[in-house]
Amino acid sequence: MSHNPERKPSASYGAGVWYNVEMASEIDRLKREFLEYLEIEKGSARKTLENYEHYLNRFFERAKIKTPADITDSAVREFRLWLNRQPGNKKKDLKETMSKKTQNYHLIALRIFLKYLGKRDIESMSADRIELAKIPERSIDLITEEELVRLLEAPKGNDIKTLRDKAILEFLFSTGLRVSELCSLPRDINPASLELSVRGKGGKVRVVFISERARTALKKYLDARKDMGEGLFVRLETREVAPQVKHKKYTGKEYGNLDRQSVERIVRHYAIKAGIAKKVTPHVIRHCFATDLLSNGADIRSVQAMLGHSNIATTQIYTHVTDKALREIHKRFHNKK
């Protein structure tokens, strides 16, 4: 099938849709330029671009937006009402209607788009007029110190898979890495190194620190590897690989790095083995990393830097469960009659 030379790829990231310049509305053209701006100027991740496009498309289609002038208070208000009446993801959050957090994702995308229009002096609604919905204060999923110890000690054995899994658990707790950051680590890490530079959200580089336990576990795992794979934590069994490569003989390179779901399964497996009834994920271990630092006297700015949080408000959620001073005051002065 031949393509019309006047047709160009749309900004539908990953969708493979073709974009007809003549048929596109003004708002479609501006949306495409906005997404290209985020990709090139801001270095936004592909997933971020896909999400922003999805949220904007939803608003434009629902509110019948064709030009920037069509974005009005009433159009946004009607869209917010519509969002608030949409069914939620029952499998994930058991909510009857769309969560306030998900609703806010739509509004954040629109607000950033309006700020972009303002920078280009394109007349439209002011981004400042969009207020986000209030959401309940975020709760933190934690396990106790004793449960954490049991989790870290759950992998027992000297086979390569057990050594890998032990290194993963120790590395997660030592560094506080996001699971996506862990999965992208290269193999050429010096097991004796005390620190490591990682590229996190938004392409920002930060330094994380490797404990003695994590270094020991990592060295044992790397010493046991015989493959030539370039990733640090790679798939080792047929059941860990994608269906399209299951027929291949393992060399490491074909199977590649573990993905998020694989690491989540590994953590869940050892949590069950350790007798922990709560749901344990790599992010729970990241929470444990942060609360451990704060509980032992680390300042919040340092913890923010180690976690790679761009906003300190994100880090402050941990202070609610780590304030030893308040706990001591309560113990000393409560109910002393």
User: What residues are labeled active site?
Assistant: 178, 201, 283, 286, 309, 318
d(CA 7, CA 27): 18
Residues in the chain: 337
Distance set, CA 314 to CA 63, 72, 104, 179, 304 (Å) = 33, 31, 16, 18, 8
d(CA 50, CA 38): 11
Going by the DSSP 8-state scheme, the letter that residue 200 receives in this structure is -
Sole residue written with tokens 């519509």? 82
Nearest of 129, 117, 135 to residue 69 by alpha carbon = 117
Distance set, CA 71 to CA 35, 57, 82, 110, 130 (Å) = 18, 13, 16, 10, 11
How many CB atoms are located within 10 Å of the residue 30 CB?
Answer: 20
**Secondary structure of residue 299 in the 3-state scheme:** coil
| Token pair of 269 as six digits | 């497996």
Going by the DSSP 8-state scheme, the letter that residue 316 receives in this structure is G
Q: Name residues whose C-beta falls within 8 Å of residue 321's C-beta, 6 or more positions apart in sequence.
A: 140, 142, 291
- Report phi then psi at 197, rounded to 5: -90, 130
How many CB atoms are located within 10 Å of the residue 98 CB?
Answer: 19
